[in-house]
Amino acid sequence: MNPCDILYSSIGIIHSEHSIAEKTPIQPVYAKGCKGYMEIFPEYAEGLKDLDGFSHIYLLYHFHQLPKAKLIVKPFLQDVERGVFATRAPCRPNALGLSVVELVGIDGNILYLNNVDILDGTPLLDIKPYTAKFDLHAVKRNGWQDEVDEHTAQKRGKRGYKRS
């Protein structure tokens, strides 16, 4: 390992109805009603205490199909080339994914989820609560996303959309 290397280990596996990357919704907001669940490895289950009080949680996970990293990409919502850090595309230098999903319930080390935009079998790295105190920010500018109307976003962001 070189000095910049950082080693993590998955704490569980995310399961969903999405088995094909190109047909997976690009964000939870376009995955309404897509159910899923996570299995947390038993050695971490104690850390789930009190999590069931939160309606929404951040999932941090690893894009395990390892799309080749690119610095310039066309985001799913628009046919214009953008810097990868100005998008949520999976082909990033570090294949880290971030989604805010709805937490439906917890049974032991199994978490039931809604609005899941994540591929089946994805390794989970961390869970954090998404809260009104910490996570609602007064966005002033949305960059290129301000050019994308809601109709287009809904069409392109949903499951099953394939860029022609």
Binding site for a copy of itself (CB under 8 A): 1-2, 4-11, 27-29, 44, 46-56, 58, 60, 62, 71-72, 81-88, 92-94, 96, 98, 100, 123, 125-137, 139-146, 148, 153
**Nearest CA among 102, 75, 103, 99 for reference residue 89:** 75
CB of 130 to a copy of itself, least distance (A): 6
Question: Residue 133: enclosing H or E segment and its boundaries?
Answer: helix 132-135
Sequence-distant (6+) residues with CB within 8 A of 69 are 84, 91, 92, 93, 95
| Closer CB to a copy of itself, 22 or 150, in the complex | 150
| Closer CB to a copy of itself, 16 or 40, in the complex | 40
CB of 1 to a copy of itself, least distance (A): 8
DSSP-derived secondary structure letter, 4: T
| Structure token pair of residue 25 | 């919704």
| Closer CB to a copy of itself, 22 or 46, in the complex | 46
| Closer CB to a copy of itself, 35 or 125, in the complex | 125
CB of 24 to a copy of itself, least distance (A): 15
CB of 146 to a copy of itself, least distance (A): 8
CA–CA dist 67, 17 (Å, integer): 20
| Structure token pair of residue 151 | 């109709």
| Closer CB to a copy of itself, 110 or 125, in the complex | 125
CA–CA dist 62, 155 (Å, integer): 26
* Cβ atoms of residues 26 and 157 within 8 Å: yes
CB of 13 to a copy of itself, least distance (A): 10
